[in-house]
Amino acid sequence: MSNSLGTIFKITSFGESHGPSIGIVIDGCPAGLVIDSDFIQSELLRRRPGQSKITTARNETEAFEIISGVFEGKSTGAPITIIIANSDARSKDYDHNVKVYRPSHADYTYQEKYGHRDHRGGGRTSARITAGWVAAGAIAKQILAHKKINVQAYVSQVGTVKLETPYTSLDLSKTESNMVRCPDEAVANKMIALIEQTKKDGDTIGGVVSCVVSNMPVGLGEPVFNKLHAGLGHAMLSINAVKGVEFGSGFEGSAMKGSEHNDLFEPGVKISTQTNHSGGIQGGISNGEDVVFSVAFKPVATIMKEQATVDEFGKAAIIKGKGRHDPCVVPRAVPIVESMAAIVLADFVLRAQSTTLEH
Amino acid sequence: MSNSLGTIFKITSFGESHGPSIGIVIDGCPAGLVIDSDFIQSELLRRRPGQSKITTARNETEAFEIISGVFEGKSTGAPITIIIANSDARSKDYDHNVKVYRPSHADYTYQEKYGHRDHRGGGRTSARITAGWVAAGAIAKQILAHKKINVQAYVSQVGTVKLETPYTSLDLSKTESNMVRCPDEAVANKMIALIEQTKKDGDTIGGVVSCVVSNMPVGLGEPVFNKLHAGLGHAMLSINAVKGVEFGSGFEGSAMKGSEHNDLFEPGVKISTQTNHSGGIQGGISNGEDVVFSVAFKPVATIMKEQATVDEFGKAAIIKGKGRHDPCVVPRAVPIVESMAAIVLADFVLRAQSTTLEH
Amino acid sequence: MSNSLGTIFKITSFGESHGPSIGIVIDGCPAGLVIDSDFIQSELLRRRPGQSKITTARNETEAFEIISGVFEGKSTGAPITIIIANSDARSKDYDHNVKVYRPSHADYTYQEKYGHRDHRGGGRTSARITAGWVAAGAIAKQILAHKKINVQAYVSQVGTVKLETPYTSLDLSKTESNMVRCPDEAVANKMIALIEQTKKDGDTIGGVVSCVVSNMPVGLGEPVFNKLHAGLGHAMLSINAVKGVEFGSGFEGSAMKGSEHNDLFEPGVKISTQTNHSGGIQGGISNGEDVVFSVAFKPVATIMKEQATVDEFGKAAIIKGKGRHDPCVVPRAVPIVESMAAIVLADFVLRAQSTTLEH
Amino acid sequence: MSNSLGTIFKITSFGESHGPSIGIVIDGCPAGLVIDSDFIQSELLRRRPGQSKITTARNETEAFEIISGVFEGKSTGAPITIIIANSDARSKDYDHNVKVYRPSHADYTYQEKYGHRDHRGGGRTSARITAGWVAAGAIAKQILAHKKINVQAYVSQVGTVKLETPYTSLDLSKTESNMVRCPDEAVANKMIALIEQTKKDGDTIGGVVSCVVSNMPVGLGEPVFNKLHAGLGHAMLSINAVKGVEFGSGFEGSAMKGSEHNDLFEPGVKISTQTNHSGGIQGGISNGEDVVFSVAFKPVATIMKEQATVDEFGKAAIIKGKGRHDPCVVPRAVPIVESMAAIVLADFVLRAQSTTLEH
């Protein structure tokens, strides 16, 4: 396995869904940063299960402890370790998938690769472990705050309900005002209704999270194999259930002509562009415009319906979802997307400082 | 900069468009591999400029030299270095963009980040450097051949012309039979016509390359931060002009329900799935089905029309494309996508050997 | 900071001397390994303070908890996290070095580099954190046991008392039979007497730990920048108070002639050498002979005598050691040297599996 | 294999002794650095074979070409690739060691590990490849010059002839005034005489190179697994024929008491120490004093005498050295030690810039 991410600001993730706790080690956080525990807690609560009627009923308080790297409220430069307790794990709910593989879950691939696996609650494959990522993301956001960089994600699609408004016409401050985390209230209500109906049907539904990073400096990104969007893309594709990522115009841009797509420069003291089809990145380096990307989530694999499957010997079997699961992950994925973006950006910010002789 | 990619099978890229040569160092290639120079050459020719009327007119023979790591026709385990000469560079064509930034190019971001840049032919930002990646990809494919793994890409979209047929109904062996590299001849002809018209208009057009990796073993991928699709996605997003990547159902999957999307297991001695919305990867680990993904390319930024832009002082200027450029990159991107996929897969194949005590 | 070590078998260290606990994350441990908790405990007890009259009086039970990566007694392939409580920290003992720098300690360099530091018990610079390394080393040794590789260290020098006998004439199984961990009883007694006298004088003394890795396979090592001895040397130089490392003939070999130093091959089915001046490594790769090296430890910096020093403003001050410290570190360094060697070797063993196409 | 070194300033080495050329890729060199080709050449000539009667007779002009990363005489931030031709390789001299293993060479270990090897001139194991390291070191020194850091090595021992004078009493500017590179003329003459006699005897002799890094900033080093001396030690142990490395008091310090060894701080505006047993590093971080270390080289394995050995089947054989070899490597190792030190220090200097929020 490979559970570390980053070059300078580097996180190492550990823990399983039904172990005593999950956690994260954050290496490379500069010393002297005031660590805002309330902010870490509030970020964890944004991701927490059981936060609304459209999320899983698992009930976690997301109590956490910082056991290293912080002294008198400030980072020391030593690795920061945060432990988050698993308080509401119900392992018995998962006895049914010891020997029978859940469709579109990682039961089979883990069993084949590792031979021995912790099946309880999905073990290492559970989205539970992203709580540690969100804790690290909260610290990364505090680093970005020093540079005034702001990371803001929102739900732009649930199933077939799409928010078509471009982000520049949205009031992103409204994202947290509803339980689905869509900044347009009318669309949000449709999304909520769709999720509720889907849940009632014992089914699940996919969605898309979009993310905007504003107040970007020019110059983040390390071509050719650590381009800013490649780093962000790698992080997004690490999130459970993600099947795609696109920057700026993304897949729609493939249908466009150069004369339409090119972002013309706007004269001025600070150089800017008239449009932002590039999503704020050119040649793998940020150009100072907003970094904009979208992340596609597939529907949750666990459904409350009977499905044909196989057991570990390849024999036919029937499985029906148990345990507590989200009917749609994207509302809770919003802070996860933000956190992974912040972790990557903090690394690029610090790394960019080492590319010059001027310091 | 960060010009290395991989953990065990690791490539280091170097060179600029108008330097004497570009190249690649391949570290971690197992010893004893017969290095097929003819195959390297044929792969380079698939990527070469000037190969047809719908590609750039730059004329490179793609002559290469292996200067290390191969002895008596076989790899020695030492780093393999391949140098590819730049024989047809016309640096004067680029005098106009020394002081004036080309829209949606990396002139501005490189200038801001590095202060000092080789502007000739795009320097380090040129797709010319992907010739080295293709040479490394040719060797990676020879490693994959030992495991019978096959990587095959094709053009699935040019502008608004889409190949809607699922890959399972295509004869991918026909991909190389036409100059746009689309395995469906009728669609290929439409694509070619669109590119020709676009070129005539002095414009450029985007497109999509899809890729299928068949005969995959179960078990490639290193969760949670080196998942197979995250590794592939990182590599794809490193390719010039790429703005998005999606696996299996991708963005379309976000509109689906779990009951539709789940890939039900098929009973049998070798476990398989009835559908492949997962794109051959579950939990970040290959499940033995074909790995399937698509890569979105934006239109080439250099167009033969006048565009408003700015100079290095932020003052308004006019620029018109010079130099020799592709009207659409996707035909030549097919071998690049395959190569980057092969490089990533070779790394994962070798790395998977180190995750067990059984050897 | 940079608190991870290894490529495949990778450890991440965290924690401070007077925090709630210290710990380690072990990534890349193959799945299915039976984790022997009793062995981890016994290794921790070999390193534990307060184990004899010649070690520090700090009294730790070295109680540990494995909070991830192990299920039903076996590794799952997921990161293994081990937490070891700090139960007997007395932070008040360290109030004196908040503002005054202890000579030859890292107070000054940490203060200058990080600005903000946890001074209590040395914080991150304390040898306390090596408890986590020993826990990881215990697991690494279990991996090596699969290959029959055995790592055994012993004290070969305390101050001017040297064990001159070559290791091949020693019975290394006697190492643990005395409190100084020297396999020659007569020399051990001299060493113990010297340490006791030194302690009585309020002083400290340096020493050397030698290490023998037997039953080595041929072929471990990844030239040219990850040679086996470079990897081992890096790990040894990471241990607190280490100032030097040498392999085989080491510094003495510099005085020798080639005709004396060369290890002549011995004919036979299994190729071996008549002597082992090379320390089991040629060209950075193990040759199947015992890997042999020695590690030099400086005397502990904290002495119970008054010393001239400066405060944080560079003003003259007087300091006298407080807290509980070892008069000589080498007895407790024996399991640390073994552990770091085992961690490095486990990484090389696993990595060597990825250098061939034969699997 | 693993042929890259460094995190930010990263080198990738390639090439074999008797291939067409050897070389180096330098990634992470900041843009805008004036690349002094004359200095690179002069450094290569310091390492070059055939420079005096006490070195090997192989005659290389060390002609080099920079094929990437430099534009108009300055670095661009892109990877810098330097190719150095092998002009005087005589491969026939090595026919004798195809099937017979040279004692204390890497013939056997490479054959066992890789199965297939380039035996000519030692192939990848030859010290010839350090020419690339010296070229990279020349650029690293130019980075260090921006910080006024100076790296200076010298020969402190040849066989039993030792330079006992502490470096603070030596005039290091005299190092290059004699062919053995020892700054004390009388000792140098003894060393030269010893090497000449050894050569006449058909034998070889070991030696020690010492290195002093002056004008060090406080704060270089990344504990706990990338301490400054661990990084330097790793690099030194990567040099051919090195069997040991020690910092400051090194192995002698193991015989000392804390009250003797501690470096007392000297009051003053800039804090300094009265002695430097620590070798300029405390807790893995530079303290502003000179960084001082010594590197032990074993005698060259190739001697012009008959030695008993075995062939690839383990059968007894006789071998006698052919080819052109140094009777003692340390004179030519001086620039290699300096270069590897400079490469490591440049990486630490750049990396230190990313450990703060102040930039």
For C223-291, the three-class secondary structure string (H helix, E strand, C coil) is CECECHHHHHHHHHHCCCCEEEEEECCHHHHCCCEHHHHCCCEECCCCCEECCCCCCCEECCEEECCCE
Closest CB to B203: pick one of A3, A257, A305: A257
Is A77 an interface residue toward C (CB < 8 Å)? yes
Lowest mean pLDDT among B158-172, B309-323, C131-145: B309-323
Q: In chain C, which residue's Cα lies nearest the Cα of A20? A: C67
Is D83 an interface residue toward B (CB < 8 Å)? yes
Q: CA D359 to CA C89: how far, in whole Å?
A: 36
Closest CB to D262: pick one of C230, C301, C316: C301
Whether the upstream peptide bond of residue A224 has omega within 30° of 0, thus cis, is yes
Can you give the pLDDT at residue B208? 98
Closest CB to C247: pick one of D206, D235, D244: D244
Q: In chain C, which residue's Cα lies nearest the Cα of B352? A: C354
Can you give the pLDDT at residue C269? 87
pLDDT-based confidence at B88, cuts 50/70/90?
confident
Q: Mind telling me how many Å the CA of A72 is from chain B's nearest CA?
A: 32
More confident residue, B348 or D99: B348
Can you give the pLDDT at residue D56? 82
Q: CA C195 to CA C201: how far, in whole Å?
A: 10
Is B351 an interface residue toward C (CB < 8 Å)? yes
Q: CA A14 to CA B224: how far, in whole Å?
A: 9
Residue owning tokens 């008392």:
C161
Q: Do A75 and C1 touch (CB under 8 A)?
A: no
Q: Do D354 and A354 touch (CB under 8 A)?
A: yes
Can you give the pLDDT at residue C57? 78
- pTM of full prediction above 0.95: yes
A-B contacts at Cβ under 8 angstroms: 362
C111 φ, ψ to 5°? -60, -45
Can you give the pLDDT at residue D96? 65
For chain C, the maximum distance between any two Cα atoms, rounded to a whole number of angstroms, is 69
Q: Do C355 and B31 touch (CB under 8 A)?
A: yes
> Which residues, at least 6 apart from A148, have a Cβ–Cβ distance to it below 8 Å?
A215
Q: Mind telling me how many Å the CA of B11 is from chain C's nearest CA?
A: 15
Residue type, D303: I
ipTM of the predicted structure? 0.97
* Listed residue (A283, D207, A133) closest to B113, CA to CA: A283
Distance, CA of A96 to chain centre? 29
Average pLDDT over residues C244-273: 96
A-C contacts at Cβ under 8 angstroms: 151
Q: CA D22 to CA D81: how far, in whole Å?
A: 11
- Whether D97 shows a pLDDT value over 70: the answer reads no
State the distance between the two ends of chain A, measured CA to CA, in whole angstroms.
Answer: 37
Q: Mind telling me how many Å the CA of B80 is from chain D's nearest CA?
A: 7
Which chain D residues have a beta carbon less than 8 Å from that of C320? none
Is D112 an interface residue toward B (CB < 8 Å)? no
What is the SS3 assignment for chain C?
CECEECCCCEEEEEECCCCCEEEEEEECCCCCCECCHHHHHHHHHHHCCCCCCCCCCCCCCCCEEEEECEECCEECCCCEEEEEECCCCCHHHHHHHCCECCCCCCHHHHHHHHCCCCCHHHHHHCHHHHHHHHHHHHHHHHHHHHCCCEEEEEEEEECCEECCCCHHHCCHHHHHHCCCCCCCHHHHHHHHHHHHHHHHCCCCECEEEEEEEECCCECCCECECECHHHHHHHHHHCCCCEEEEEECCHHHHCCCEHHHHCCCEECCCCCEECCCCCCCEECCEEECCCEEEEEEECCCCCCCCEEEEEECCCCEEEEECCCCCCCCCHHHHHHHHHHHHHHHHHHHHHHHCCCCCCC
Q: In chain C, which residue's Cα lies nearest the Cα of D329? A: C254
Is A355 an interface residue toward D (CB < 8 Å)? yes
- Whether A357 shows a pLDDT value over 90: the answer reads no
Is A141 an interface residue toward D (CB < 8 Å)? no
Q: In chain B, which residue's Cα lies nearest the Cα of C353? A: B354
The DSSP letter of residue B304 is: S
Domains of chain D, by residue range, sit at 4-352
Q: Mind telling me how many Å the CA of A212 is from chain B's nearest CA?
A: 15
Suggest the residue from D201, D298, D315, D353 to mutate for an interface test with chain C (most C CBs closer than 10 A). Answer: D298
Question: In chain A, positions 275-294, which contact chain B (CB-CB < 8 Å)?
Answer: 277-279, 282-287
Is D7 an interface residue toward A (CB < 8 Å)? yes
Is D67 an interface residue toward B (CB < 8 Å)? yes
Q: Mind telling me how many Å the CA of C151 is from chain B's nearest CA?
A: 18
Q: Check if the beta carbon of residue C283 is closer than 8 Å to that of residue D106.
A: yes
pLDDT, one tens digit per residue, over A114-152 is 998 888 888 999 999 999 999 999 999 999 999 999 999
Q: CA B306 to CA B103: how far, in whole Å?
A: 11
Is A28 an interface residue toward D (CB < 8 Å)? yes
Q: Do D357 and A8 touch (CB under 8 A)?
A: no
Q: Do A31 and C115 touch (CB under 8 A)?
A: yes
Average pLDDT over residues B287-291: 98
Is D208 an interface residue toward C (CB < 8 Å)? yes
Query: Which residues is D213 bridged to in the sheet?
Result: D151, D291
> If one looks up domain A4-352 in CATH, what number appears?
3.60.150.10
pLDDT, one tens digit per residue, over A187-209 is 999 999 999 999 999 999 999 99
Is D145 an interface residue toward A (CB < 8 Å)? no
**Number of H-type helices and E-type strands within chain D:** 8, 18
Helix (H) or strand (E) holding B317: strand B316-320
Average pLDDT over residues C47-63: 87
Q: In chain D, which residue's Cα lies nearest the Cα of A356? A: D30
Q: Do A354 and D356 touch (CB under 8 A)?
A: no
